[in-house]
Amino acid sequence: MSGQHSAVTIDAEYCTGCRRCAAVCPVDAIEGRQGEAQSINQQKCIMCGQCIQICSGYASSQDDFYDTPRAIKLNERNMPLNLREPLFAAYYRGDFQTVQAVLSGQRFHTIVQCAPAVRVAIAEEFGLPLGRLVPGQLAAVLRRIGFSRVYDTNFAADLTIMEEGAELVKRIKTGSTLPMFTSCCPAWVKFVEDQYPDLIAHLSSCKSPQQMAGTMFKTYGATLDQVAADKVYSVAIMPCTCKKYEAGRPEMKASGYRDVDAVLTTRELAYLIKAAGIDFRTLPEESFDNPLGLYSGAGTIFGVTGGVMEAALRTAYEILAAKPLAEPDIKRVRGETGVRHVTVDVGSMQLNTVVVAGLKNALPLLEQVRAGQADFHFMEVMTCPAGCVSGGGQPKMLLPVDTAHSHRQRTTSTYQHDAELPIRKSHENSAIQKLYREFLGEPLGHTSHQLLHTHYRSETRG
């Protein structure tokens, strides 16, 4: 997989030149005149996929369903050849056919992980209410599709908090580069690398949960399953189109192999389910496999804006204050739009944090950091407006009112899931504790640094 492979594209044949995509692009990568076909400047594009979500130019699925030109288009996009939905102008080239071929063979031990935002969106593809929470059915359907192990990105989100929280505490105590930026959103990371290379040191060195999970599957997980790492095929189900790009970054192979072999969006997962003829609505609830599928409430709220910050604070507070956090809900950092400045009293110090929803809102803050005027310690940035629940690979809404409603419902369900879980803090996840005890040692230790951290750099990756 390469950056070019996962690039978001606009099909000039279907584009009407409405420029709605240009209005939502956070990096002004859409180019063209009103009423004419648009194009994407790939040097600017961060592959967030928001143009895909809003695109309204399409070819109908009713006309010439089996015609040759349509079949060619579907093949170019790596989509099911019998897909019964409109082909929109803005699209990404998928991995559906690749993963389907792997699952139909017997060559690999296939492991799948699911991001937190998928379980509050996948049901929409099958006529269920917007935002329906379906983790049990999600685990069940992935087994029926044919995956050998069904694990969870939420587990790796807890792992990310252990490393990121320890990194933040270390930076504060040692006077290292502050403020620290979150690094779990690949579109945000790419933007910093491309547009603010002088601020790269502010990014957390942590890999994203997707990449941490992929590394664990091919090391610790492979050992548990008694499978050679080169026989593990790792698939990530993500709400985000840029996750395809992230998996293809050349440095993402700390295990000695590609951490994540393929990324499917939520919509592509729906294609797999439909192709397998599975009735999603009638599936029983099942659990994710352990130990790499056990997660806390902190892991699941990674899917909404403010979630990474809240999850990190639940753990960082207890490290810095050396006492339990009585109430895990830190609602002040929650919010779907704009910028939220929140100060948290942590023992004898005040921890100043910033939560940014939507990449364009980060620009003034980046200029403050560049000028040495930032008065905060930690900043979360999510490129998409409501966080991962509004990612470019999520089910597509045709009406703006439905889009806004879907974001609210998915967010509500995410916090509902957090509230219902028996463990709410990442460091209290027993599977995480076991992983450090048996394999990683300690956060920021030699093994965890080698496998779970990376180096970001200024480099154009088309």
| 291 prior amide bond cis, ω within 30 | yes
The pLDDT, as a whole number, for residue 348 is 79
The pLDDT, as a whole number, for residue 7 is 77
Q: Which of 56-65, 88-97, 133-142 has the lowest mean pLDDT?
A: 56-65
Strand 87-88 with 90-92, pairing: unpaired
Residue 320 pLDDT > 60, yes or no?
yes
Residue 333 main-chain phi, psi, to 5 deg? -90, -5
Residue 61: which pLDDT band, with cuts at 50, 70 and 90? Answer: low
For residue 84, the tally of other CB atoms under 10 A from its CB is: 9
The pLDDT, as a whole number, for residue 315 is 92
Taking the domain 1-93, which CATH number applies? 3.30.70.20
Residue pair 86/58 in contact by the 8 Å Cβ criterion? yes
The pLDDT, as a whole number, for residue 65 is 52
Q: Tokens 């029926």 — which residue?
A: 144
**Residue numbers annotated as active site:** 164, 167, 184, 204, 243, 246, 251, 388
Q: For residue 43, give Cα distances in angstroms to 190, 251, 381, 384, 459.
A: 11, 20, 21, 19, 11
Between CA 320 and CA 332 the distance in angstroms is 19
Between CA 63 and CA 348 the distance in angstroms is 67
The token duo for 27 is 């990096």
Residue 187: which pLDDT band, with cuts at 50, 70 and 90? Answer: very high
Residue 427 pLDDT > 70, yes or no?
yes
The token duo for 33 is 């005149």
Nearest to 190 by CA among 11, 40, 337, 7: 7
Task: Give, as one character, the DSSP assignment of residue 190.
Answer: H
pTM of the model: 0.94
Residue 399 pLDDT > 50, yes or no?
yes
Q: What is the pLDDT of residues 335-370, one digit of tens each?
A: 767 899 999 888 778 999 999 999 999 999 999 999
Find the helix packing angle between 209-216 and 153-174, rounded to 10°: 110
What is the percent of the chain with per-residue pLDDT over 90, rounded to a whole number?
A: 81
Residue 461: which pLDDT band, with cuts at 50, 70 and 90? Answer: very low
Largest CA-CA distance found in the chain, in angstroms, rounded = 69
Residue 462: which pLDDT band, with cuts at 50, 70 and 90? Answer: very low
Beginning with the edge strand found earlier in the chain, give each strand of the sheet holding 349-357 in spatial order: 180-181, 378-382, 349-357, 338-346
Residue 184: which pLDDT band, with cuts at 50, 70 and 90? Answer: very high
Question: Residue 173: which H helix or E strand, with range?
Answer: helix 153-174
What amino acid is encoded at 353 in this protein?
T
| 179 prior amide bond cis, ω within 30 | yes
The token duo for 179 is 């403020």
Residue 278 pLDDT > 60, yes or no?
yes
Residue 137 pLDDT > 50, yes or no?
yes
The pLDDT, as a whole number, for residue 67 is 67
The token duo for 326 is 């009585």
Between CA 120 and CA 388 the distance in angstroms is 11
Strand 58-59 with 87-88, pairing: antiparallel
The average pLDDT across 161-190 equals 95
The average pLDDT across 68-93 equals 88
The average pLDDT across 245-250 equals 94
Query: Which residues in the chain are classed under CATH 3.30.70.20?
Result: 1-93
Question: Residue 382: which H helix or E strand, with range?
Answer: strand 378-382
Q: Which of 168-182, 218-232, 447-461 has the lowest mean pLDDT?
A: 447-461
SS (H, E, C) 145-158: HCCCEECCHHHHHH
Q: Which residues pair with 111 in a beta bridge?
A: 149, 234
Q: How many CA atoms within 13 Å lie on the side-chain side of 210?
A: 34
The three-state secondary structure class of 377 is coil
Q: Which of 65-69, 266-270, 389-393 has the lowest mean pLDDT?
A: 65-69
Question: Residue 378: which H helix or E strand, with range?
Answer: strand 378-382
Query: Which residues in the chain are classed under CATH 3.40.950.10?
Result: 153-452
Between CA 25 and CA 414 the distance in angstroms is 26
Q: What is the pLDDT of residues 113-128, one digit of tens each?
A: 999 999 999 999 999 9
**Is 461 or 298 the better-scoring residue by pLDDT?**
298
Alpha helices in 255-361 (DSSP H): 266-275, 297-300, 307-321
The pLDDT, as a whole number, for residue 457 is 83
Between CA 62 and CA 66 the distance in angstroms is 10
Task: Give, as one character, the DSSP assignment of residue 220.
Answer: I
The three-state secondary structure class of 87 is strand
Sign (positive or negative) of CA dihedral 334, 339, 340, 346:
positive
Q: Which residues pair with 233 in a beta bridge?
A: 110
The token duo for 314 is 């639940």
The pLDDT, as a whole number, for residue 72 is 86
Between CA 459 and CA 92 the distance in angstroms is 22
Residue 132 pLDDT > 60, yes or no?
yes
Question: Residue 76: which H helix or E strand, with range?
Answer: helix 68-76
Q: Decide yes or no: CATH 3.40.50.2000 for domain 153-452.
A: no
Mean pLDDT of the chain: 92
The average pLDDT across 96-112 equals 93
Q: Which of 67-76, 132-141, 424-433, 435-444 has the lowest mean pLDDT?
A: 67-76
The pLDDT, as a whole number, for residue 129 is 96
The average pLDDT across 284-301 equals 95
Q: Which residues pair with 130 in a beta bridge?
A: none
The token duo for 181 is 């930026």
**Is 6 or 19 the better-scoring residue by pLDDT?**
19
